[in-house]
Amino acid sequence: MRIGILTGGGDVPGLNPCIKSVVYRAIDDGADVIGIRRGWAGLLKYNIDDPSEADECIIPLNKANTRVIDRSGGTFLHTSRTNPGKVKWSEVPDFLKEPDNPPKEGDLPYDFTPHILKVLEHLGIDVLIPIGGDDTLSYGVRLHKEGFPVVAIPKTMDNDVFGTDYCIGFSTAVTRSTHFITALRTPAGSHERIAIVELFGRNSGETSLITAYLAGVDRAIISEVAFDPEKLAGFLMQDKKENPSNYAIMTISEGAQMVGGKIIEYGQEDAYGHKKLGGIGEITGEAIEKITGSHIIYQPLAYLMRSGEPDALDRMVAISYANLATDLAVRGDYGHLVALREGKYTTVPIMTMTQGKKHVDVDELYDVDQYRPKIYRMLGKPMFLY
């Protein structure tokens, strides 16, 4: 058996331990492993008729070349946001372009799924293990629908893949954020300011909520609940006054929006229809400064949340997901998303992830009037308050 493995979308700590564990387990079970470089782009750019550039797209994986990769963050295989089902003409590899049939204005993106399937067949890959979030795994669902064997592993520091309680990268992102917020209290207190910490989180505000809960910040704004800047400013000034060090600190999801406002996006849409997010914290800071006259510290954590090596929990989940996915692949049990549900490792049909959007349980975990975490009933809650 030959297993293909790739990582797509944003990098998170835990990917390398996951890759290594798939390789070690697969080899012990008598299988070969091919690493696909730069996510789905590795398959898109693979030219069957010109093997001279194959090394740019794939790499045979073994115990020797993956032995130490688990000691660092990021992904050894690199990553991209390529979607082979929706490729702009400017991103089509030259060998796939048809010079006699150039694109016309208004042409839809090109679907190169037939090429991807030919490449997988050419490489002799029997089953594919993509590691990714909603976007990356949505193309895994496409291949599954085409009849190609897929076993998917969820990763995203937003923890928002539908169908699983946990995604690789979430624990480390929250750990990093909590650490930096604790450190930020020093300048915030020294200068007696209001500090606004912007965290990644497009559709789900879980990183903002859980980080605020653990770091003990004064207020937390999440993606799911629109907020009133006047009301928020009043709360923060009250928090600042009641603090002996005369400062206040809050978190905000990058996907948050003011009442009557909109999500702050910029740049071109990627292959999955998403623009970049970021800046709502700065806009909120400017509004609060204007309302209160108080000086603001605006601190976007951004890529620092996904940097460095994984914490112990992300190592545990990454390695365990890898073993579970490889078990399924070797047994020939395909079409699954490996998952954690109610604290136990399990699987769900891969189509599950397309059946909804994962959000914070606002009624159970958030005080919409006070803009802060509030756990209404702790008994029976899972460890990470999913």
The band of 102, judged by pLDDT with boundaries at 50, 70 and 90, is low
The band of 265, judged by pLDDT with boundaries at 50, 70 and 90, is very low
Give the contacts of 20 (CB within 8 A, at least 6 positions apart). 66, 67, 69, 70, 322
Are both 178 and 134 inside the same structural domain? Answer: no
Find residue 197's DSSP bridge partners: 251, 299
Residue indicated by tokens 């115990």:
63
Mean pLDDT lowest among 34-38, 240-244, 333-337, 353-357: 353-357
- Residue 180's domain spans which residues? 171-306+361-373
Specify the pLDDT at position 316: 97
Nearest to 127 by CA among 330, 337, 339: 330
Per residue in 274-320, pLDDT (tens digit) is 445 568 999 999 999 999 999 999 999 989 999 999 999 999 999 99
Specify the pLDDT at position 317: 97
Per residue in 219-237, pLDDT (tens digit) is 999 999 999 999 999 999 9
Q: Active-site residue among 126, 135, 158, 314?
A: 158
Per residue in 326-375, pLDDT (tens digit) is 999 999 999 999 999 988 999 999 999 999 988 999 999 999 999 999 98
Q: What is the CATH number of the domain that holds 301?
A: 3.40.50.460
Q: Residue 384: inside a domain, yes or no?
A: no
Q: Is the pLDDT of residue 105 over 90?
A: no
Q: Residue 380: inside a domain, yes or no?
A: no
Q: Does residue 111 have an active-site annotation?
A: no
Are both 237 and 127 inside the same structural domain? Answer: no
Are both 180 and 323 inside the same structural domain? Answer: no
Nearest to 347 by CA among 164, 133, 170: 164
The whole-model pTM stands at 0.93
**What distance in Å separates the CA atoms of residue 113 and residue 252, rounded to the nearest whole number?**
38
Are both 176 and 278 inside the same structural domain? Answer: yes
Are both 15 and 82 inside the same structural domain? Answer: yes
Q: What is the CATH number of the domain that holds 320?
A: 3.40.50.450
User: What Å distances lie between residue 155 and 71, 167, 316, 365, CA to CA?
Assistant: 18, 4, 13, 23
**What distance in Å separates the CA atoms of residue 338 and residue 328, rounded to the nearest whole number?**
9
Are both 249 and 369 inside the same structural domain? Answer: yes
Are both 321 and 365 inside the same structural domain? Answer: no
**What distance in Å separates the CA atoms of residue 253 and residue 225, rounded to the nearest whole number?**
10
Q: Residue 236: inside a domain, yes or no?
A: yes
**What distance in Å separates the CA atoms of residue 359 and residue 253, rounded to the nearest whole number?**
12
Specify the pLDDT at position 278: 61
Which 3-state string (H, E, C) describes 237-300?
A: HHHHHHCCCCCEEEEEECCCCECCCCCCEECCCCCCCCCEECCHHHHHHHHHHHHHCCCEEEEE
Q: Is the pLDDT of residue 271 over 60?
A: no
Residue indicated by tokens 């042409």:
107
Are both 122 and 20 inside the same structural domain? Answer: yes
- How many domains is the chain built from? 2
